[in-house]
Structure 1
Amino acid sequence: MNGMSSDHEMFIWTPLIGFDKEHKDRGVDEYYSKLGFTPDGISLFLFCPDIVHDHNGMDAERVLPPDNCNYYSNIRNEIREIQEWTSYELRELVGGLNSRGTETYMGIMGVFANDDSQGSVHYNPGHREWLNDHKELLGVMPDYTGHLNVLKRFKDGTYYEDFFLAKARAALKDYGFSGLHVSDCFCPPAADAKGGDFSDDMVDQFMTYSGIKLPDEICAAVSDEDREGIRKRGTYIWNRYKLEWLEFLSWRWVSFWQKICDGLHADGKKVIVNNAWCSEPFEALYRFGIDYKKLYAAGVDYFAAETVPTSVHMGDSEEGTYRMYNYMTMPSFMRAFAPEGKLLCLNGVKDSTEEWSTMTHFPSNVEREIYALTNYYLQTPSGLKRSTDGFLVCLGDGLTKEEWSWLKERWDIGFGEIPEKVLTPTLIWSDSALYKLLPDYIATRRWSMHKTVYELAKCGGQVGDFARIEDLNYVSGPIFIPNVDLLPEDELKQLASYNRGAVICTSLVERGFQMPDTRKPDIYFEDLAADFKMCIMAYDMPYIDYQDITATLGEDDGSADVQGDPRYAEDPSWFLDNLVYRKASTGFVKACGKLIRAAYDCDLSASIENPLLPMQMKDGRIRLLIGNDNRLQYRKPIIKAKKPFKYVVSLSKFPSLPARLMDDQGHSIIPKLEHKHQPVIAYGFMAKIPPGGLTIFDVTFAKGDDDE
């Protein structure tokens, strides 16, 4: 990419309002002059899928409807009013972008304006939507009918995907697009598996695939408006055939994308798909029946992970959970599950239609997201690889030149050096454990691997490095295996033979887990306050302070546990509502976080309240990513060293003043003027972290006899 590091890709997602059609080049030069770099890809967010449905060649110029010209037909952004684009002007814009060396993608959703969903964003599309004449393709959910369900069939029994593929191939070719980008209500679908489409069509496809014969009163035809009938049918299937329903949906998504990708790839086109409503691999499987690994294998070229905790939280109508650690670790789980696939992360900066701007209102949070997303890694046979291949800016139509420059400065820092080694435990990923978790979660509602990782991270125990079990031989240092009891015997034997660092595992107490070699752990403790008990254990870790780590055991916040049979716990239907999990006490989670932090292989430390992600660079420097979970106040953590160091440099844009150094007694060392700088020997320093932000420090140790 022009002007930026070549080890990552930068994509921009922007509606047409980002360009000015009144210019001879349709605004391409003006747009690029603001960017200051050449992106690898631009997804032109045409929003309404009728850009495909209504495409009938380019023999005649046609005026595009307003919802192609801007997201939800919104009348303006910060820069200009909506413009009326024509098909020929769009083709010229695509050609201009292509001529700059930028891949162009047709970006669409599956939104239908005239649905009957409560709380839906209703708007005036400015034209008769294609779906008005093909309502058999609408999703028929227990609570509403609305939006396109791409897995359905027309009245004559033919599949929508066959129609769409033919139309999409023609439209992409005629406009000159490099590929297709789909998101909300196309794929991922409008509703999850539990609250999804239980129409006659989908139930018939399910029975044909699975061989399950539903009772007559359940499978008998009902009208799409029969809410009670649809609700009864959905409840019956979800309660009795949950696994089979999820397997069916997974199969349908694979067959859909296999067909679409085969056709588009034959034309030299690529496919980008947003991930399943901010979900990591397990949640995507359970809530949507979407298997990222299988969809990559079906031909999807890129997944775009919706890593936008700040924009989601600030736009929520209620004070919900701020999912910083959840969303920041999501790409690492996706990468570990499917390392062969390309993965972009949404860089949520501004949306004039939804009316939010993290750039304006929460810039330090944006900075933290950039630095965090670029500094989680996968251990591979050839070394560390970033969890993300790059960013997809969301959205890129209303940013000023100064805002683009601000972002680029931080991208350059985030996508800078790759470390030699991450100094936290390495999470060991197992595909087998993921698939085994699905029925186990249904039966028990135990914590997923991802839930474990982000909850422990919130309590100070981050992991910044992931590895597949097949690559365990390339890992050194401490390792972490949540839900170790789900691993098959051959993988457990690999863990038992690991001798290059501590081995930390979680399990369920009722499973009575033991390593195959029957070793006893150096530390083991259970949740003392929860009814459904988790446990954690560590091997080859005899050096810890047991009393300090377990001091919080028994603490409880009084929150309720799952009531009754876990199999029938009420699942949420909205992606911002958390999955149902059995209760773990606050004291147990804090103790687990402390145990993970105690395993950090680093000569620098901070108190457990300060989020810390340490890594060693190739020249021996120690890089510290220090976060601040308080979004209202600065934090000033004290960083202590086990051995003397000479330099501390702030790699990030804040703070600008030198760090306040401390001697071995904890007293401040007054820094010299820079032009009279003399090396000092320090044993600590005070950091300063912006509210809700993250600061990166590089620490250079003084060389001792053992460093030569």
Structure 2
Amino acid sequence: MNQAQQKHEMFIWTPLIGFDKERTDKGVADYYSTIGFKPDGISLFLFSPDIVHHHEDGMERERVLPPDNCNYYGNVRNEIRDIQEWTNFELRELVAGLESRGAETYMGLMGVYVDKDPRHPSHYNTGHREWLADHKELMGVWTIGTASLHVLKRFKDGTYYEDFFLAKVRRALHDYGFSGLHVADNFCPPGSGGSAKNGDYSDDMIDQFTAHTGIKLPAEISASVDDRDREGIQKRGAYIWNRYKREWLSFLTWRWAAFWEKVCRGLHEDGKKVIVNNAWCSEPFEAIYRYGIDYKKLYEAGVDYIAAESVATSVHMARELGPYRLYNYMTMPTLMKAYAPEGKLICLNGVKDSTEEWSTVGHFASNVEREIYSLTHYFIHTRDGLKRSMDGFLVCLGDGLTREEWAWLRERWDIGFAELPRTVLTPTFIWSDHAMHELLLDYIETKRWSMHKTIYEFAKAGGQIGAVARIEDLDIVSGPIFIPNIDLMSEAEIGRISAYDRGPVICTSPSDRPFRLPGSPEPDITFQDPIAGFKMRISGYRMGYLDYADITASLGEDDGSPDVEGDPRYAEDPGIWRLDLIYRKASSGFVQACGKLLRAAYVSGGELSADIEHPLLPMQMSDGTIRLLIGNDNRLQYRLPVVRTKHAVKQVASKSKFPALPVKLVDREGRTILPRSDRSHESIVNGGFIAKIPPGGMTIFDVALADEE
């Protein structure tokens, strides 16, 4: 039996419409009966920060809360009930009821400013004069417009918003009885237009920037610009982004850390906790480059949990903009954990949003099932053994789900969190903080691929990475390792990689910077992109068993995608989070060959394999069985991959809910072994089995092989 398990935490993020104020207990008992489990925490999504801004110390007077505190954007209903008019006293009773059942409750806020904007749908109803309408100096001033609260700014009198906010939120959390604070989009991270490239370039933020860095800007840039002067803001922004990008990003990461250090210190003094959503679905490098947010610095500042927005399906199904970022979002939390392993990391499980009107659990169930299985099956090597890269889920959102939908989710969570493997049979990605920070400088100059881009593109091509280890922990790793952008590591780190002798070593680097592992023989396999202008090279050491011709057969093929035009330093960076970061082109044939090389390094490759077009993540369990997670990138049709085995299959157990029927075995030639009434089929030596994978989904099999004869 597989016994090794790891404790995980489960949180729910839900608007007040998930409860019923007309019930004596505010609907708490019914809610718990519906969800069917005891969550560790519940974030009550009160949406508008005016719940803090308008809070009256001591809360002696009962008042009606505005609609946008009672439901996300004041939306009029969900699938279960109409919006209800809650009072502050009733909210306090709800918090007490949830806390009495052992759930830590969090005040969930965003920083959106609606201001009756006619572009918003009519059901976006704040129902009150927003506090920010009287403090517009605190609004984000971006090159593409002015919107949302920007919490790093100062009031007209020069005092910082964070000091005002901290004093108010301490009283609000205390008076309502919350266990902590949870902030998300448009608060931290800043507004969807609030990328580092877009600003904020107001006089206030530029004054903070120059005071911190000592940079002297030309008079025409430092001269006062009205927040409404879009042309002036754009001119200032273009100057800073193109000349002081590194300094601007360094300032922002410092400023966000200072904000959270102050807020967390105050809340921790009160025994409260803090949850912060990650920066618009971004992994560590992208979060710094695009938003000026450094996750490690947030943890060091005192943030208790970061919630990774790992919601590929809900983002893609919402609108026709950009590709389906499944591999991108599924690997993102692993890199976050590698960068800051001590911090607690929970992943958004995007299941339903009644206000935004999407339901993955209702309309794309197999996709969200794949997300659950994927996120629970990426691992990090630690001194205490193999651990999951995430510490639990935050259900997004938990107000409109039926009892049956909750039961369906619980079944999948139980499968995902069931047991830990003994070892992951893919190459292990070796993380280096030094390389990540060096990448920032190099990316500005070249737009080369990041480590994350390399990992998820190679995974899409069939070469998945199921585990990560920090370079400091290389001595506890065995088996194949993968180091994208190895040239960015320090000399000492490269030396440690060179001395690694417990498995194959695969690494990438730019072709125009000749690289060889010092003290090592020539690589057993090495090839570069024959088409791309900025050529990458991949090399494999201790891999003499490879079929070079098969792996490199796709070199020279290309999908015709464009490259960055002109000087990459001035390539137009995306302004909003739904657009992908700019990278230099890699030919599709080169990426396919790299995916094949990584797949060839799977430790299980000699025992068990499947065609490259079938995503395969293998790991060995404590009882010796091989667990296979097989995905299906076709969201319209089932897939029937043949899993070939060196030794006969003794038993195959489906650990997921599909398929329910026993698998079909195949003989050594790949032909299906059909059961016969005389049982003569039992004498046929099998050479594998046929799996069945639902459209867009994933199936998990535990495979036991016969002993070698």
TM-score of the pair, normalised by structure 2 = 0.97
Matches within 5 A, 1:40-51: 40-51=40-51
Tell me the residue number matched to 2:93.
92
Read off the aligned partner of 2:368 and give its amino acid letter: V
518-527 vs 480-489, greater mean Cα deviation: 518-527
For 1:43 and 1:62, the matched residues in 2 are separated by 22
For 2:561 and 2:428, the matched residues in 1 are separated by 31
2:419 to 417, 420, 423: 417
Instruction: Output one character per residue of 1:335-386: Cα deviation in whole Å (capped at 9) or x when no partner.
Output: 0000000000000000000000011110000100000000000011121100
Read off the aligned partner of 1:268 and give its amino acid letter: G
Tell me the residue number matched to 2:688.
684
3-state DSSP of counterpart to 2:628: strand
For 1:495 and 1:359, the matched residues in 2 are separated by 43
For 1:243 and 1:666, the matched residues in 2 are separated by 56
Instruction: Output one character per residue of 1:507-557: Cα deviation in whole Å (capped at 9) or x when no partner.
Output: 001111121215311101000011110000000110000000000101112
State whether residues 349 and 359 of structure 1, in contact with CA within 8 Å, keep that contact through their aligned partners in structure 2. yes
For 2:673 and 2:695, the matched residues in 1 are separated by 26
3-state DSSP of counterpart to 1:335: helix
Runs of 4+ in 1 over 2 A off after TM superposition: 115-124, 663-673, 677-682
For 2:594 and 2:244, the matched residues in 1 are separated by 35
Instruction: Output one character per residue of 1:263-306: Cα deviation in whole Å (capped at 9) or x when no partner.
Output: 00000000000000000001001001100011101100000000
Read off the aligned partner of 1:626 and give its amino acid letter: I
For 2:414 and 2:247, the matched residues in 1 are separated by 46
Change (3 A) 1:421 1:635: same
State whether residues 267 and 273 of structure 2, in contact with CA within 8 Å, keep that contact through their aligned partners in structure 1. yes
Alignment length (residue pairs): 699
3-state DSSP of counterpart to 2:232: helix
Tell me the residue number matched to 1:463.
465
3-state DSSP of counterpart to 2:238: helix
For 1:211 and 1:543, the matched residues in 2 are separated by 57
Tell me the residue number matched to 2:447.
445
For 1:68 and 1:275, the matched residues in 2 are separated by 22
State whether residues 189 and 280 of structure 2, in contact with CA within 8 Å, keep that contact through their aligned partners in structure 1. yes
For 2:122 and 2:228, the matched residues in 1 are separated by 20
111-120 vs 575-584, greater mean Cα deviation: 111-120
Structure 1: tracts of 5 or more residues without a match: none
Determine whether 1:238 maps to 2:241: yes
For 1:513 and 1:273, the matched residues in 2 are separated by 40
Tell me the residue number matched to 1:331.
333
For 1:120 and 1:391, the matched residues in 2 are separated by 30
Determine whether 1:144 maps to 2:145: yes
3-state DSSP of counterpart to 2:576: coil
- 1:669 positional shift: 2.7
Tell me the residue number matched to 2:157.
156
Determine whether 1:68 maps to 2:69: yes
- 1:196 positional shift: 2.1
Matches within 5 A, 1:390-401: 390-401=392-403
For 1:700 and 1:234, the matched residues in 2 are separated by 60
Change (3 A) 1:679 1:698: farther
Tell me the residue number matched to 1:434.
436
State whether residues 321 and 578 of structure 2, in contact with CA within 8 Å, keep that contact through their aligned partners in structure 1. no
State whether residues 114 and 122 of structure 1, in contact with CA within 8 Å, keep that contact through their aligned partners in structure 2. no
Read off the aligned partner of 1:108 and give its amino acid letter: L
For 2:455 and 2:698, the matched residues in 1 are separated by 19
3-state DSSP of counterpart to 1:370: helix
State whether residues 278 and 306 of structure 2, in contact with CA within 8 Å, keep that contact through their aligned partners in structure 1. yes
Determine whether 1:608 maps to 2:609: no
Structure 2: tracts of 5 or more residues without a match: none
Tell me the residue number matched to 2:349.
347
Tell me the residue number matched to 1:305.
308
1:653 to 640, 650, 657: 657
- 1:142 positional shift: 1.2
- 1:678 positional shift: 8.3
3-state DSSP of counterpart to 1:26: coil
Tell me the residue number matched to 1:211.
214
2:586 to 568, 579, 584: 584
State whether residues 305 and 346 of structure 1, in contact with CA within 8 Å, keep that contact through their aligned partners in structure 2. yes
Instruction: Output one character per residue of 1:444-502: Cα deviation in whole Å (capped at 9) or x when no partner.
Output: 00000000000000000001010000000110000000000000000001000000000
3-state DSSP of counterpart to 2:114: coil
3-state DSSP of counterpart to 1:668: coil
Change (3 A) 1:117 1:383: farther
2:298 to 292, 295, 301: 295
1:561 to 538, 549, 563: 563
Across the aligned residues of Structure 1 and Structure 2, the Cα RMSD in angstroms comes to 1.7
Tell me the residue number matched to 2:198.
195
Tell me the residue number matched to 2:173.
172
State whether residues 647 and 679 of structure 1, in contact with CA within 8 Å, keep that contact through their aligned partners in structure 2. no
Q: Percent identity?
A: 69
State whether residues 382 and 469 of structure 2, in contact with CA within 8 Å, keep that contact through their aligned partners in structure 1. yes
Determine whether 1:699 maps to 2:703: yes
Tell me the residue number matched to 1:113.
114
State whether residues 61 and 88 of structure 1, in contact with CA within 8 Å, keep that contact through their aligned partners in structure 2. yes
Read off the aligned partner of 1:53 and give its amino acid letter: H
- 1:31 positional shift: 0.1
Read off the aligned partner of 2:421 and give its amino acid letter: P
2:666 to 653, 662, 666: 662
For 2:691 and 2:198, the matched residues in 1 are separated by 47
Tell me the residue number matched to 1:34.
34
- 1:645 positional shift: 2.1
Tell me the residue number matched to 2:286.
283
State whether residues 649 and 699 of structure 1, in contact with CA within 8 Å, keep that contact through their aligned partners in structure 2. yes
Change (3 A) 1:83 1:120: closer
1:632 to 613, 629, 636: 636
State whether residues 6 and 387 of structure 2, in contact with CA within 8 Å, keep that contact through their aligned partners in structure 1. no
Instruction: Output one character per residue of 1:232-266: Cα deviation in whole Å (capped at 9) or x when no partner.
Output: 00000000000000000000000000000000000
Read off the aligned partner of 2:369 and give its amino acid letter: E
For 1:319 and 1:161, the matched residues in 2 are separated by 35
Tell me the residue number matched to 1:54.
54
3-state DSSP of counterpart to 1:378: strand
- 1:391 positional shift: 0.3
- 1:114 positional shift: 1.8
3-state DSSP of counterpart to 1:84: coil
3-state DSSP of counterpart to 2:10: strand
